[in-house]
């Protein structure tokens, strides 16, 4: 490792966090993203990119990009890196999501249609599933899910490496995401050597808020000379304070950037959670994305309707969007995940192996633990246009689309 890889968290790193930063920069070059700065804690490393974000856990990657970046071209390289540094031969689980593009004709060929993206993903991952959520004639959301798969760690890895990875929670996840002009990819790679399902906690929740038609007056702070005349992190901190962004998670550590002539990006860390913000303030294409896994306290509890409502209203107050899309993605409990994803040998009241009755009985027993994300509460100043609840094998997804009340 080089000097840049040494910091106060070096002794705590394992799994994917041990990959040198120069290797990640090389991978990000394929996506046309430049690393601006890094922010780390004992749980994860975050990379603030040119209007994009990259988060590295021991077992999981989250890559969120914007504009005309080539996000999906990172997949082969990520798999190569995982194999070289951890001996992993495939992704355990993959998520790719994005909002419908505002200007699809400006994307590179691969990203000009959802069908082309899905076809490309299918060449790398078997048995992937693609979904479109929401109304086709309004803003909607695309999701691609793959896995989880039962894979095991090659025996070529030494015992110390295996122990480190297992201690951090086993599998490695890969997540990619694009929202409108932005996308996100999440990926998990199995590294425990056990070959079992990834344990998901009901507290594993991600909330994403995608906004268009931002209020021009509030967006003046996102221009050079608005909240600050300083480009970079100093200007970013000024924007955080001037807009109220700093008040959303006041106990977090944040890393932000004000661009020339305009634009703003932020990565924030609190515990083992992250949040990220990216803003394009120009009136003809104004757009902002906010994504978080941080439940800070009862005011922003991502597992309660009141907490999500508070978060959405606080974020909307910062940007004043004409319309916003909200998604809540929550992992289902361990028992239901196993039932949905694999064949079981069970015996419930004399019912034999792989019986539909046995699975029904176990699903019923798990119901109390398998918590559906709460229904969305009304958002002050907005009317609800669309609401959808999806039940996937291993995750729940709530989707809502709001427009400003006249």
Q: Nearest-5° angle of CA 306, CA 215, CA 65?
A: 75
Based on the residue annotation, tell me whether 265 is a catalytic residue of this protein: yes
Token code pair at residue 173: 């996840």
CB-count burial class (<10 Å; 0-12, 13-18, 19+) for 390 = middle
Based on the residue annotation, tell me whether 200 is a catalytic residue of this protein: no
CB-count burial class (<10 Å; 0-12, 13-18, 19+) for 218 = middle
Based on the residue annotation, tell me whether 52 is a catalytic residue of this protein: yes
- Interacting residues of 67 by C-beta distance below 8 A, sequence separation 6+: 51, 181, 182
Rounded to the nearest 10°, the torsion over CA 327, 330, 279, 19 is -150
Residue 70 to residues 131, 197, 352, 364, Cα–Cα distance (Å): 21, 31, 50, 44
- Pick the catalytic residue from 51, 168, 190, 240: 51
Token code pair at residue 194: 């056990």
- Pick the catalytic residue from 166, 180, 265, 295: 265
- Pick the catalytic residue from 14, 46, 50, 52: 52
Based on the residue annotation, tell me whether 333 is a catalytic residue of this protein: no
- Pick the catalytic residue from 59, 142, 174, 278: 278
- Pick the catalytic residue from 14, 40, 46, 66: 66
Rounded to the nearest 10°, the torsion over CA 373, 378, 381, 384 is 80
Give the residue from 220, 230, 239, 157 showing the smallest Cα distance to 191.
157
Based on the residue annotation, tell me whether 51 is a catalytic residue of this protein: yes
Active site residues: 51-52, 66, 265, 278
């Amino acid at each position: 490792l080089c000097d840049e890889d040494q910091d106060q968290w070096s002794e705590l790193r394992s799994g994917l966090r041990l990959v040198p930063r120069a290797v990640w920069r090389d991978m990000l070059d394929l996506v046309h993203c430049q690393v601006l700065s890094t922010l780390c804690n004992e749980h994860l490393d975050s990379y603030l990119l040119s209007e994009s974000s990259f988060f590295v856990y021991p077992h999981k990657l989250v890559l969120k990009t914007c504009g005309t970046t080539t996000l999906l071209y990172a997949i082969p390289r990520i798999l190569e890196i995982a194999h070289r540094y951890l001996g992993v031969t495939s992704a355990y689980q993959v998520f790719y999501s994005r909002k419908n593009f505002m200007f699809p004709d400006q994307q590179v060929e691969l990203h000009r249609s959802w069908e082309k993206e899905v076809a490309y993903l299918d060449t790398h991952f078997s048995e992937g599933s693609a979904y479109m959520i929401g109304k086709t004639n309004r803003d909607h959301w695309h999701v691609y899910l793959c896995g989880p798969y039962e894979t095991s760690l090659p025996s070529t890895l030494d015992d110390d490496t295996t122990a480190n990875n297992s201690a951090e929670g086993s599998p490695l996840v890969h997540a990619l995401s694009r929202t409108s002009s932005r996308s996100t990819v999440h990926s998990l790679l199995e590294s425990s050597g056990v070959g079992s399902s990834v344990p998901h906690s009901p507290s594993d929740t991600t909330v994403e808020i995608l906004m268009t038609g931002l209020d021009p007056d509030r967006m003046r702070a996102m221009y050079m000379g608005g909240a600050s005349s300083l480009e970079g992190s100093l200007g970013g901190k000024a924007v955080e304070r001037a807009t109220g962004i700093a008040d959303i998670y006041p106990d977090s550590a944040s890393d932000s950037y004000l661009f020339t002539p305009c634009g703003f990006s932020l990565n924030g860390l609190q515990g083992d959670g992250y949040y990220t913000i990216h803003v394009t303030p120009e009136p003809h294409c104004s757009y902002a994305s906010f994504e978080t896994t941080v439940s800070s306290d009862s005011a922003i509890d991502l597992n309660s309707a009141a907490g999500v409502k508070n978060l959405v209203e606080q974020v909307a107050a910062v940007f004043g969007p004409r319309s916003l899309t909200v998604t809540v993605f929550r992992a289902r409990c361990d028992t239901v995940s196993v039932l949905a994803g694999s064949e079981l040998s069970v015996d419930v009241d004399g019912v034999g192996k792989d019986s539909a009755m046995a699975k029904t009985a176990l699903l019923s027993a798990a119901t109390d633990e398998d918590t559906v994300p709460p229904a969305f509460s009304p958002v002050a100043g907005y009317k609800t246009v669309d609401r959808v609840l999806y039940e996937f094998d291993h995750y729940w997804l709530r989707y809502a689309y709001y427009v400003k009340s006249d």
